[in-house]
Amino acid sequence: MKNMFQEHIYTVKSPYRDDMHISGLKFGRGSKAACIVGPTRGNEIQQLYICSQLVRELSKLEKTGAIINNNEIMVVPTINQSSINIEKRFWAMDKSDINRMFPGRADGETTQRIADGVFRAVSGYSYGIQFASFHTPGEFIPHVRMMETGHQSTSLANLFGMPYVMTKKPQPFDMSTLNYCWQMDGTNAFSVYTPATDSIDEVSARQAVTAVLRFLTRMGIIRYNCHSGYIATTIEEEELMPIKTDVPGIYRRLKSPGDEVRFGEVLAEIVDPIEGEVISQILSPSDGIIFFAHTKPMVIQNCVVYKMIRRLHV
């Protein structure tokens, strides 16, 4: 029986250090069924961990013949191990974000060339799944996110069995992301978000791995037994209510993603960093569910510390 094999899908040459090889791990043989991509940024340790656990599970499934014939699955664990090694979020030389460089340029700057090489390798798959993080530091309810390109399918996204499916109208800066470019190239693309980024959250990591395996099973790519998951609620990003600070200071968070809150309930306190007194309380503007929560210990004025799914009374 054939087992996983590894190939270099792109190499960044270096005159002073070892070359950086971006690897793709392939399971099964045949048609390009699904491609899973891990971190594009150096602080996405949770996303790297999820990929490692998915590789572990796919290796077991392949050894037991559970990858259905004529299906190839490729996992790209990371496309930015250089930044991971030095604990920097973006590309160290110019602080550019690889996930804002797609589909890339073969004759461009380093991160554009990386994006070009990776995109060539991950194109042509029926389904593309990326483990991503948000640009604002914080935690989310686990969910599947997709761009509204006209090619998106929320019904397919529901098959992950995660609590929420979020759609987003793309802004100009979104049009150079892997998710957007994948969709425009004909791949059904999904981004999977979990609460953590630069730390490991075992519970949500396992949830993400199971969600991907559940999706691959439902698409007839693998055989895997798991519970059916959630009946997802579909929301648009524009529907989320942002809740902001009114003063700067030390941020004391009182609520977490998934918490139900009532109108007027205290969500957070802002503490004076010199005198230690509470100088502001952040109150819930509505009944609802916390979808996103800021995690950094310091905040500036007008910082978005929560995003809420409002509960509308009928």
Q: Are the C-beta atoms of residues 115 and 103 closer than 8 Å to each other? A: yes
Of 51-55, 90-94, 99-103, which range is least confident? 90-94
CATH of the domain at 285: 2.40.50.100
Q: What Rg do the C-alpha atoms of the chain give, in angstroms? A: 20
From 19, 45, 48, select the one nearest 36 (Cα to Cα): 48
State yes or no: pLDDT of 313 exceeds 60.
Answer: no
Q: What confidence score (pLDDT) does residue 42 get?
A: 94
Q: Identify the three-state secondary structure at position 197.
A: coil
Say yes or no: 18 and 34 in one domain. yes
Say yes or no: 210 and 83 in one domain. yes
Say yes or no: 160 and 90 in one domain. yes
Say yes or no: 72 and 156 in one domain. yes
Say yes or no: 114 and 246 in one domain. no
User: What are the residues facing 283 on neighbouring strands?
Assistant: 266
Of 79-88, 116-125, 160-169, which range is least confident? 79-88
Place of tokens 């929301």: 235
pLDDT tens digit sequence for 223-280 = 999 888 999 999 999 999 999 999 999 999 999 999 999 999 999 999 999 999 999 9
Among residues 201, 236, 271, the one where a domain terminates is 236
Q: Identify the three-state secondary structure at position 73.
A: strand
| DSSP strand pairing (143-147 vs 164-168) | parallel
Q: What confidence score (pLDDT) does residue 93 get?
A: 85
Instruction: Say which DSSP state 222 is in.
Output: B
Alpha-carbon distance of 7 to 23, in angstroms, equals: 6
Domain that holds residue 288: 240-310
User: What are the residues facing 304 on neighbouring strands?
Assistant: 244
Q: Identify the three-state secondary structure at position 146.
A: strand
Domain count, the chain: 2
Q: How far is CA 284 from CA 58, 138, 261, 281, in A?
A: 43, 18, 7, 10
Alpha-carbon distance of 303 to 283, in angstroms, equals: 14
pLDDT tens digit sequence for 189-223 = 999 999 999 999 999 999 999 999 999 999 999 99
CATH of the domain at 44: 3.40.630.10
What is the arithmetic mean of pLDDT over 26-30? Answer: 96
Q: How far is CA 191 from the centre of its chain?
A: 5
Would you report the helix, strand and coil content of the chain in percent, each value rounded to 5?
A: 25, 30, 45
What are the φ and ψ backbone dihedral angles of 108, each rounded to 5 degrees? Answer: -95, -160
Say yes or no: 244 and 232 in one domain. no
Say yes or no: 186 and 247 in one domain. no
Say yes or no: 244 and 214 in one domain. no
Q: What confidence score (pLDDT) does residue 312 get?
A: 65
Among residues 201, 217, 236, the one where a domain terminates is 236
Say yes or no: 207 and 262 in one domain. no
pTM (predicted TM-score) = 0.93
Q: What confidence score (pLDDT) does residue 226 get?
A: 86
Q: How far is CA 82 from CA 21, 88, 111, 121, 297, in A?
A: 10, 9, 12, 19, 28
Q: Are the C-beta atoms of residues 71 and 31 closer than 8 Å to each other? A: yes
